[in-house]
Homo-oligomer: A and B are copies of this chain.
Amino acid sequence: MITLPASPLEELPVERDPAKKFSSLSALFEPKSVAVIGASDDPSRIGGRPLQYLKRAGFAGAVYPVNPNRSTVQGLAAYPDVAAIPFPVDVAIIALPAEQVVTAIEACARKGVKAAIIFSAGFAETGPEGAARQAAIASLGRQSGMRVLGPNCLGAFNSGLGFFGTFSQAFDKDTPEPGPIAIASQSGACGSHLVYLFRQRNVGLNYWITTGNETDVDVAECMLWLAQSPKVKVIVAYAEAIRDGATFIHALETARRNGKAVVMIKVGRSNAGGLAAASHTGALVGRDDVYDAVMRQYGVYRADSIQQLVDTACACAHGIFPADRSLGIITLSGGLGIQAADAAERYQLDVRPLNPAGQAQIKALISFAGTANPIDVTAQVVNDPELTGKCIDVALSEGGYQSLICLFSSVPAVTRLGDPILQALIRLRVRFPERLIVLSLAAPIEVVRRYEAAGFLVFEDCDCAIAAISALAGFAESFAAAAGDGAVSAPPSADKPLPDRRLPAVLDEHAAKALLAAAGIPVLPEKIVHDGPGARQAAAEMGCPVVLKIVSPDITHKTEVGGVILNVQTPLDAELEATALLDRIAKLVPGARLTGVLVSPMCKAGIETICGIFTDPVFGPVVMFGLGGIHVEVLRDVAFRLAPFDESEARSMISEIRGYRLLEGVRGAPPADIDVLARALVRLSDFALAYRGLVNEVDINPFVVLPRGQGAYALDALIVGPGAPASFSQ
């Protein structure tokens, strides 16, 4: 059934040059000429819809219907095949049954078409036969340099050009107006659903791309292209999986450097199938945790629901990102105010009190007002709507809140009250152009539109409004961070040279710690000795108490064989204990090669943490951090970051775990040396990058953090090379 090209050309490598990839996508999303292969005269059919849409939207370029049975299609001159088109074709839309697609794609490739959009289903999603067809298409694309969107996708649009290369029913009634938002969605259905919702919200869309089976163009590459488009302010993405972690990261970095907000749904949170198995730390991680960490690290707003996605995207489209997390709350009712304050705390906003001067001014305006924050202007404003504007003015000028939420309930629905409030707000909008002013109100849509048109973000639900404010503040922080050092992927710390990128033959505890020490991870002094007298001398040199540990490539679980002796008090004890230890282990594990006994000073008491590295199949080396004991494995209280990262990111990682309060010092305990811990995590991330491919997993357990000023030390470490089996240290 599958028509493969008669003489398949040799496979070419995938294009890796970013500039070429970018320009090749430009042909797809900004075409000058479009052929519709399988064009139908019936505008409701799959092959008819794109023609209908292109005509209705006034596509500026050329449109060439291809249909062997007709000379015109929907009033346009038709061609029997793509080869017969006498002009160059940027985009060919393929609306044919699956079994005709490979032939059509081959014809397009021969014609020199720059990009194809394949609507047809019946490929990899249906089984081996379809997968073979899809592979044939991919191969033809690579050979010819023709980019392929789909198959099994709903196509794409560029509303500014009037280019609607799609058969989605979402455009049945009309096509979207251009606007600040772009959508890249793997799922066509979700993409169409989003079009509907953004239209309901009256927010325009510039680009819309559905990627379907992603045999070539994927969501990440689309995001990267959109991140470079000056017309796009907000990127809305929907993905079931990311195929190319590096392009995804590049897209996120580009977006935030260009001040574009990325709002994304990545489904599959509940899919436990993606566990990075066979690794101590990795085994704890559904890959979804890594997605989560990556998105947090690169400033993406990850939405859990379509409503959150649309709310947040619309808020970003509004274009004001508040400079800090301060929030003023203006309310007509005490109860609504408390609710907003609750929500503000939930979403990490700072409801700080109005200053005394401001409070006095509010009091002078409304004697029974709540003046602190929330500012409760009371039902008094029903009698004198002008008061609302005056109170907001005080909050903005005296309180200095970067964001303000006004809880108006259904009052604006009453024209007598709503009109003066709106007029007052408009004056304030001019005076405070950079402040984010959000209204929570319930009113007919035409009233809502008037407030929106005047430059305000409007939400019916207060909780959604405050969630959106928090998201905007988060984007402001992310943009500022990107503007600071230019990139999250900071180069490895300069104050510590990178270690030689070589692994010793044996990676026992001593070798592992030496490697990490060379990379700047603090370890205590230690020495391998081979007998009792050696231990005595080492103990005398480093000072007692010391710890003795058996070292053997054949013994991973040292404590299980009694191979660790803590708190040895004198050099003489060290000699006796070391002799006994070597003797005991030799008898207990007869075949084991005994490298010797590791002598090191006994570490002071501190907080035991676990620091580690594992390799995510999509994103590569990931650093993890958590408290020791049951916290990582049982309580899953663990934080992740993609390597490399800087100290501020390390601090955010440390503070992310629930047990952070323990590090801050509780019950009179001193705070832990978080500075040293953060630097160690940065070094570990540098190490992860330097040894990418050579080291699959690092497990520093425990990494003991002493009180502030006293440092932190890796007391045990395990390094696993690629392909090595996972195991526990100690």
Residues of A within 8 A of B (CB): 121-122, 125-126, 169-170, 172, 185-190, 192-193, 196-197, 200, 238, 240, 265, 267-271, 304-308, 332-336, 338-339, 341-346, 368, 378-379, 382, 409-411, 413-414, 442, 460-464, 630, 633-635, 637, 658-659, 661-662, 666-667
Instruction: Report 24 cross-chain contacts, Cβ distance below 8 Å, ordered by A residue.
Output: A122-B368, A188-B379, A189-B333, A192-B409, A196-B409, A196-B410, A196-B413, A200-B442, A240-B334, A267-B342, A268-B338, A269-B346, A270-B341, A304-B343, A304-B346, A305-B339, A305-B461, A306-B461, A630-B659, A630-B662, A634-B661, A634-B667, A635-B637, A635-B659
Q: How far is the CA of A344 from the CA of B271 in the complex (A)?
A: 12
> Is B336 a contact of A462 with CB atoms below 8 Å?
no
Q: Which residue of B lies closest to A664 (CB)?
A: B634
Cα separation A334 to B192 with both chains bound (whole Å): 13
Q: In whole angstroms, how far apart are the Cα atoms of A306 and B271 in the complex? A: 31
Within 8 Å by CB of A189, from B193, B336, B460, lies B336
Bound-state Cα–Cα, A667 to B271, Å: 23
Q: Is the CB–CB distance between B462 and A269 below 8 Å? A: no
Residues of chain B with a CB closer than 8 A to A368's CB: 121-122, 125-126
Q: Nearest chain-B residue to A173 (Cβ)?
A: B413
Contact check, A172 vs B414: say whether CB atoms are below 8 A apart. yes
User: Given known contacts A196-B410, A634-B666, A659-B634, is B460 in contact with A339 (CB within 8 Å)?
Assistant: no
Of the candidates B169, B307, B334, B658, which one forms a contact with A187 in the assembled complex, judged by CB atoms under 8 Å apart? Answer: B334
Using Cβ atoms and an 8 Å threshold, which residues of chain B touch A413?
A: 196
Cβ of A378: which chain B residues have Cβ within 8 Å of it?
121
Q: Of all chain B residues, which has the CB nearest A407?
A: B189
Shortest Cβ gap from A5 to chain B (Å): 26
If A196-B413, A306-B462, A634-B659 touch, whether A270 touches B336 (CB-CB below 8 Å) is no
In the assembled complex, the Cα of A462 lies from the Cα of B307 at a distance in Å of 8
Interchain CA distance A152-B190 in the complex, whole Å: 48
- Shortest Cβ distance from residue A518 to the other chain B in the assembled complex, whole angstroms: 32
User: Measured between alpha carbons, how far is A223 from B367 in the docked complex, in Å?
Assistant: 33
Number of copies: 2
* B contact residues around A269 at 8 Å (CB): 342, 345-346
Q: Shortest distance in angstroms between A174's beta carbon and chain B's nearest beta carbon? A: 13
With a 10 A CB-CB cut-off, give which of A189, A270, A382, A666 has the most chain B CB atoms. A189
A336-B187 contact, Cβ under 8 Å, with A200-B442, A634-B662? yes
User: A377 → chain B, closest Cβ, in Å?
Assistant: 11
A666 closest partner in B (C-beta): B634
Question: For residue A200, which residues in chain B have a CB less than 8 angstroms away from its CB?
Answer: 442
Q: Which of B170, B308, B332, B335 contacts A240, CB < 8 Å?
A: B335
Q: In the complex, what residues of B have CB within 8 A of residue A343's CB?
A: 304-305
Residues of B contacting A346 in the complex (Cβ-Cβ under 8 angstroms)? 269-270, 304
- Chain B residues lying within 8 Å of A634, measured Cβ to Cβ, are 659, 661-662, 666-667
On whether A633 and B307 interact (CB within 8 A), knowing A336-B189, A368-B125, the answer reads: no
Report yes or no: B169 in contact with A463, Cβ–Cβ below 8 A. Answer: no
Interchain CA distance A344-B270 in the complex, whole Å: 9
Given A200-B442, A666-B634, is A305 in contact with B464 using a C-beta cutoff of 8 Å? yes
User: Top 8 A-B pairs ranked by shortest CB distance?
Assistant: A189-B333, A187-B335, A305-B463, A270-B345, A307-B461, A267-B338, A196-B410, A269-B342
User: What residues of chain B lie closer than 8 Å to A666, measured between beta carbons?
Assistant: 630, 633-634
* Beta-carbon contact of B193 and A442 below 8 Å: yes
State whether A193 and B270 are in contact (beta carbons under 8 Å apart), knowing that A305-B464, A307-B461, A460-B307 are contacts in the complex. no
Select A409's contact among B193, B271, B338, B630, beta carbons within 8 Å.
Answer: B193
Chain B residues whose CB sits within 8 angstroms of the CB of A637 once the complex forms: 635
Q: How far, in Å, is A441 (CB) from chain B's closest CB?
A: 9
* CA A141 to CA B560, docked complex, whole Å: 76
Interchain CB contact under 8 A, B335 and A238: yes
Residues of B within 8 A of A409 (CB): 189, 192-193, 196
Decide: A333 and B270 in contact? CB cutoff 8 A: no
**CB-based contact A339/B461 at 8 Å:** no
What is the CA–CA distance of A659 and B658 in the complex, to the nearest angstrom?
A: 12
CA distance A661 to B633 in the complex (A): 10
Complex alpha-carbon distance, A4 and B192, angstroms? 68
A111 to B67, CA, bound (A): 91
B333 and A190: CB pair below 8 A? yes
Beyond contacts A187-B334, A190-B335, A306-B463: 14 other A-B pairs, Cβ-Cβ < 8 A, are A122-B368, A126-B368, A172-B414, A186-B335, A189-B336, A192-B409, A192-B410, A270-B345, A270-B346, A305-B461, A305-B463, A307-B463, A630-B659, A633-B666
In the complex, which residues of chain B have a beta carbon less than 8 angstroms from the beta carbon of A464? 305, 307
Complex CA distance for A128 and B212, rounded to whole angstroms: 68
Contact A333 B662 (CB under 8 A): no
A382 to B46 Cα, complex, angstroms: 11
CA gap between A270 and B350 in the complex, in Å: 12
Q: Which residues of B have CB within 8 Å of A462?
A: 305-306
Are B414 and A463 touching (Cβ within 8 A)? Answer: no
Considering only CB atoms, which chain B residue lies closest to A629 in the complex?
A: B629
Taken together as a complex, chains A and B put the C-alpha atoms of A169 and B411 apart, in Å, by 8
Contacts of A411 in B (CB 8 A): 169
Chain B residues in 8 Å Cβ range of A267: 335, 338-339, 342
Q: Find the B residue at minimum CB distance from A196.
A: B410
Nearest B residue (CB) for A44 = B416
Chain B nearest CB, measured from A288 CB (Å): 9
Most chain B CB within a 10 A radius of its CB, from A267, A268, A332, A382: A267
Chain B nearest CB from A274 CB (Å) reads: 13
Q: How far is the CA of A188 from the CA of B442 in the complex (A)?
A: 15
| A188 surroundings in chain B (CB, below 8 A) | 333, 379
Contact A169 B382 (CB under 8 A): yes
**How long is the Cα–Cα vector from A200 to B379 in the complex, in angstroms?**
23
Minimal beta-carbon separation of A366 from chain B (angstroms):
12
User: Which residue of chain B lies nearest to A378 when distances are taken between CB atoms in the complex?
Assistant: B121
Q: How far is the CB of A352 from chain B (nearest CB, A)?
A: 13
Q: How far apart are the CA atoms of A192 and B308 in the complex, in Å? A: 26
User: Which among A200, A635, A658 has the greatest number of chain B C-beta atoms within 10 A?
Assistant: A635
Q: Are B170 and A410 interface neighbours, CB within 8 A?
A: yes
